Homo-oligomer: A and B are copies of this chain.
Amino acid sequence: MKQKIWYTYDDIHRVIRNLAAKIQASGMKYDAMIAIGGGGFIPARMLRCFLDIPIYAVTTAYYDSDDLGKVTEEVKKVQWLDPVPEVLKGKNVLVVDEVDDSRVTLEFCLTELAKEDFATIGIAVLHEKIKAKAGSIPAGMPYFSGITVEDLWINYPWDAEDIDEHNRLAAESST
């Protein structure tokens, strides 16, 4: 069984602060964020505290796809920027997600967004898992992560039915 780790909201807020500092240190000015929902919503809203740029949202989901009797999982758009608002055309956008795990969703979103008229597409993820990636990031896209983490099962506070128990497990797992 995969080892588990718990992060508190405050842990994550501090990581997002560092992530914002890395983005600012890069010298590139981003005009807007594009949060990948639902996971990217909380990181993006926390990031806005430091970057002070508007947040747009896209959402994808995995669907079972039956290809001649062989069922595979496929990423599909649930909500998209379709069409991309005029005000974003030619601008620098920062795609925000929770965790860079297999990179499949990330590759899908970046490849789709790369078809549009943006200047620079950057990527900002809260957690970058150190593991082999099934998906890849298109060449030339700046990539930022808050922290790199081992390939553990991450328990996010926003998935905690009981936040006090979650925080207790976070305190235990950090010692």
- Residues in B with CB closer than 8 Å to A48 are 38, 158
Contact of A49 with B13 at beta-carbon distance under 8 Å, contacts A38-B54, A54-B61, A59-B54 already known: no
- Residues in B with CB closer than 8 Å to A157 are 9, 13
Cβ contact of A9, chosen from B9, B56, B85, cutoff 8 A: B9
For chain A residues 144-161, which have a beta carbon within 8 Å of chain B? 157-161
**In the complex, A49→B57 CA distance in Å?**
19
For chain A residues 113-152, which have a beta carbon within 8 Å of chain B? none
Tell me whether A46 is interfacial, beta carbon within 8 Å. yes
Q: Give the top 6 A-B pairs by smallest Cβ distance, nearest first.
A: A9-B9, A57-B57, A41-B41, A13-B163, A41-B45, A38-B55
Interfacial residues, chain A to chain B (CB-CB below 8 A): 8-10, 13-14, 17, 35, 37-38, 41-42, 44-46, 48-50, 54-57, 59, 61, 78-79, 81, 85, 157-161, 163-164, 167
